[in-house]
Amino acid sequence: MAVFALPIAMLEQRIQQQFQESAQLKQQSAGLLAEPVAQAVACIANAVSNGCKILVCGNGGSAADAQHFAAELVGRFERERPELAAIALTTDTSVLTALANDFGFDQVFSRQVRALGQPGDVLVAISTSGNSPSVIEAVRAAQERELLVVGMSGKGGGQMTALLRDIDVHLCVPHDRTARIQEVHLLMLHCICDGVDWTLMGDPEDIE
């Protein structure tokens, strides 16, 4: 078993740099993304209040974010409220493996969107590069089915930028590093959860 003599001071410096980079990007993103995040809140709050549902997809770390977000809508974020309809398209292994095997991995989300999506629903499509083929195909399917799309990306937005319509919302993190983009994605998802709760239920202090 290898034993490393770690240069603790240098390691601590690297760790502090990670925190600083993340904090700086979040401050920068707050100014750039507060308005589109508020638009995403409005889209999602309108959908669930009208009996529609939220579909969420992404790959890798973005798949984890999709599941996290859906869980907070179906369960709760920080306070009790009625359940909100949300489905992470990343969780059913039988569906995912059948679609990947029979149609190719690019279709694992789009076919679910076509099967489950109805006009008025919202697709939250997460790709740090904006170029993930499976996510791009899901966006196309959502638009065909008359869903609104909240696209979450970074690195300039990639293909997602050109694909999204004026009625859709694009949350593009102004950074090229995947880890930093994912950190801001998670913060924005938490902001959306908080904003939806606030929109539907008001300020916590106003609730008896």
Q: Annotation-wise, does 46 bind a ligand? A: no
| Amino acid letter, residue 159 | Q
- As a whole-number percent, the residues of the chain with pLDDT over 70 amount to 97
Please give the average per-residue pLDDT across 8-19, as a whole number.
93
Q: Annotation-wise, does 59 bind a ligand? A: yes
3-state secondary structure of 172: strand
Say which residues have a Cβ less than 8 Å from residue 8's Cβ, sequence separation at least 6.
none
Please give the average per-residue pLDDT across 129-146, as a whole number.
98
Per-residue pLDDT of 30-73, as tens digits, reads 999 999 999 999 999 999 999 999 999 999 999 999 999 999 99
Q: Annotation-wise, does 49 bind a ligand? A: no
Hey, what domains does the chain have and what are their CATH numbers? 32-198 (3.40.50.10490)
Q: Annotation-wise, does 178 bind a ligand? A: no
User: Average model confidence (pLDDT) for the chain?
Assistant: 96
Q: Annotation-wise, does 166 bind a ligand? A: no
Model confidence at 8, in pLDDT bands (50, 70, 90)? confident
Per-residue pLDDT of 84-118, as tens digits, reads 999 999 999 999 999 999 999 999 999 999 999 99
Residue 185 belongs to what H/E stretch? helix 178-201
Q: Is the pTM of this model over 0.75?
A: yes
Q: Quick check: 119 and 46 in contact, CB under 8 A?
A: no
Please give the average per-residue pLDDT across 157-163, as a whole number.
97
Q: Annotation-wise, does 68 bind a ligand? A: yes
Q: Annotation-wise, does 102 bind a ligand? A: yes
